[in-house]
Amino acid sequence: MRTRTLLTQVLAVNTALVAGTAIVAALIARGRFQDVFELQRMLLLGLAIASAVLLNSLLLRRRLRPLERLLHTMERVDLSRPGQRAAAPAGAATEVERLTADFNRMMARLEEERRESGRAVIRAQEEERARIAQDLHDEVNQALTAILLRLQAAALDVPPGLRSELKEIQTLATQAMEELLMLARQLRPTALDDHGLVPALASQVADFGERTGIRSTFHRHGAPPELSDEEQLVLYRVTQESLSNVVQHSGASTVRVELSSVGRTVLRVRDDGCGFKVSGSNGRSRLGVSGMRERALLVGGRLNVFSAPGEGTTIELTMGAT
């Protein structure tokens, strides 16, 4: 049976009901039921009208149910969880089918535009980080180097009583240079550009363990993944943010970072810290995790958090899993 428009269906149903009611009323008015009391005729007319209204309500409710389902889907759709689509049930009106198709096309377009704008934001952020890191390395670090050389030269001509103080200042300048270089590496991971994702992650985990004293290990499964520059950068940044959360919040003694390329590319960062309630309003889950999840979505990935109080935390990033 060919699907008719919603307007045609409503008009047809109401026309049939009005015609039926009119026929019953005409029969009563013409006295076809002369052997029935007046009260019975009124009850019959009332029953006919009530039946018409009830039938009309049932039929309209049935025909409008697909539209209600579509509205429910529109209300609960969330761009942070891409891939949600509406489905028009079989036999739905033409308008409902067209509205469903238009809604799905709109969602696909919005998700694509969101990904493109997000990639542009990531590129702009990384370019700015690279510029700042370069300035720190070329300008601020050179200034500190010049100060250190001047201190070394001045130490030769000062009285012996001041040499220990100058030595301490040289030590502080050297520490400042080391912290500055570490900050520049965090702003722009040169290892990622020079050596690729796997060596960069291994170096990041090793540096984290040396700097914090937390026992950290890196494990790789499968062949090196074939990923775009943006996807590699997201994997690196999610690892960086996860390790930062470990040292700031978890109180963990061990951290295990895994990169698996068997099938899909999956990154896991596990710690044995205090853990937290994922579904609650904990600041760590609200701020740090939301930023990582947003990065993952922009490159077509999905980030999940598995944690519970006293059971540690696992951050899992799956690429190409929308």
Q: What is the DSSP string of 56-98?
A: HHHHHHHHHHHHHHHHHHHHH--TTSTT----PPTT--HHHHH
User: For residues 77 and 98, what is the distance between their CA atoms, to the nearest angstrom?
Assistant: 18
pLDDT for 284 beyond 50: no
User: For residues 222 and 258, what is the distance between their CA atoms, to the nearest angstrom?
Assistant: 11
- Which residue, among 284, 285, 318, has the nearest Cα to 301 in the 3D structure? 318
Task: Name the residue with higher pLDDT: 184 or 217.
Answer: 217
pTM of the model: 0.58
Rg for the chain (alpha carbons), in Å?
Answer: 35
Q: Could you tell me what percent of the chain has a pLDDT over 70? A: 74
Task: Name the residue with higher pLDDT: 230 or 220.
Answer: 220
User: For residues 321 and 285, what is the distance between their CA atoms, to the nearest angstrom?
Assistant: 21
Consecutive H or E run containing 170: helix 160-187
Within a 10 A sphere around the Cβ of 69, how many other Cβ atoms?
A: 17
The band of 274, judged by pLDDT with boundaries at 50, 70 and 90, is confident
| Mean pLDDT to the nearest integer, 269-281 | 78
Instruction: Give the model's pLDDT for residue 267.
Output: 93
Within a 10 A sphere around the Cβ of 99, how many other Cβ atoms?
A: 19
- Provide the token pair at 93: 């009106």
Q: Could you tell me what percent of the chain has a pLDDT over 90? A: 8
Domain architecture of the chain: domains with CATH: 6-111 (no CATH), 191-322 (3.30.565.10)
pLDDT in tens, 86-104: 777 666 677 777 888 888 8
- Provide the token pair at 79: 């761009």
Quote the distance between the C-alpha of residue 186 and its chain's center: 24
Instruction: Give the model's pLDDT for residue 281.
Output: 42
pLDDT in tens, 43-87: 666 676 677 667 767 777 777 777 777 777 777 776 666 677 777
